[in-house]
Structure 1
Amino acid sequence: MTVETTAQTPAQTPVRRTLGASAALLAVAGLGLAAAPAASAAEGTATADLSVRAETNTGSAVLATIPSGAAVDVQCQAAGEHIDGTYSTDQWGKVTHDGQTGYVSRAYLTILDANGLVACGEGEAPAPTPAPEPGISADRQQVLDRGRHWVQQGLPYSMEAYAPGPDADGYQFRTDCSGMIAMAYNLRDQSYSTVNLPEKFHEIDKNDLQPGDIVGNLGPGSAGANGHVVIFNGWTDESKTTFHTIEQAGGVGATERTATWGADFWNQHAYRLNGW
């Protein structure tokens, strides 16, 4: 019987033996071959010394500490303990630092572009976004789409921080409720709050609301925590009792949810952009 073999040059054989021996030594030492580092979905900056914890809460073990001002590669995010810091949020980012993989609170993490940041693991899919009502105009659809830009980023709420909208020039808006309205409508002529938004919007009847209008308490006396405003995105049913919102909510961040008309101090008045 003849066995066919592939000829090797003298130089090839020792190279093959050397690689095999190296791999064997690594295996015996328990080191294994180095794996590629986890891909980063978003880049952020620590706004304070940041504890990397084993779980998404402050009661879990501290695995490492990221110094204030350091760049942070965030792999994904997950909900956990609510933290009030530079931002107010319950979102935690999964990171690897000094060889330790764990979670850091996004309350102390600035992420300017979180479009690629997804939920960690295989949790439940988010609630489907309600479809706009039939016949919605392009201008109104643009308001909804711009508002969702921050929702998709999971942007934390803050009355002091600023973040860009979807525009190529990177123009930044304050990341509170009225800042989201300014971003969604691309209002740049001044800084807007619930107090001065009536300069751009006029009150309408509740029954005239259309997706892209806003609901809130505006004008004198609505500064700070005394005011709130959201983007209206349609009624949940014909009774016109509960409606869909796109908003920046304190303690929650950028979100889409439902609200009941008249159930709170801020959801009893409807407004429309002047000229619409």
Structure 2
Amino acid sequence: MNRAYARIGTAYEKMNDLANAITFYQKAQTEHRTPEVLAKLRAAEKAKITHDRTAYIDPTEAEKARELGNAKFKEADWPAAVEAYSEMTKRAPDDPRGFSNRAACFIKLLEFPSAVQDCDEAIKRDPKFIRAYLRKAQAYYTMREYNKCINVCSEAMEHDEGGKNAREIQEQERKALEAQYSAREGESEEQTMERIQRDPEIVGILQDPVMQAILQQAKGDPAALQEHLKNPGIRAKIQKLVAAGVIRMGR
């Protein structure tokens, strides 16, 4: 019976009737488990998931779900908004807005790791979708992960074409830096150095010959740092040093 069921399953699979193919492969495995049929079963199950997911894509329904999500968000009905935006991600899986909008809901629901994950999904689909970076930074900020928040802001600046969102990005970055300063207020220089020495990334930046030259220059001319901030790579490293307390600006 195992072989008979397996043959029927294969026939259904050739007809692209994956549901029946899976049913008969399962029956074959119930009669007598074999690696060959198990492989066919797993492949058919995977193919059906892909087929069903593709068949569900519908731009019109996606837009309806987005509009419903927006309405529920305005009503502060976060769970209903999550449900609507989740529907949008299924109807339009390549549209970053569904994931980014759902992330905004997760932030309201204090589900920050889920918000970060959705922002990553949005960025994966469109690396220039700045709203996703801003929401990811907001989630990290609320979690008090200030270094991560600052890093995300740096990434956002790199992808912000024409600096259209520069003010909003810099404002989020400023808030994170101020929060770090406040958290470390009263820390002695010895405590700062001990903490820095335990951070491999900061140690690596301090050992970089280019950064050493910049820091040496800044000692005699603090304003020179502003010029170096125009270079995205240097800017990111300087921000990390500021965040770590190595460079103290305006304090």
Structure 1 length as normaliser, TM-score? 0.24
Structure with bigger strand share is 1
Structure 2 length as normaliser, TM-score? 0.26
User: Which structure carries more relative contact order (alpha carbon 8 Å, separation 6+)?
Assistant: 1
Structure with bigger helix share is 2
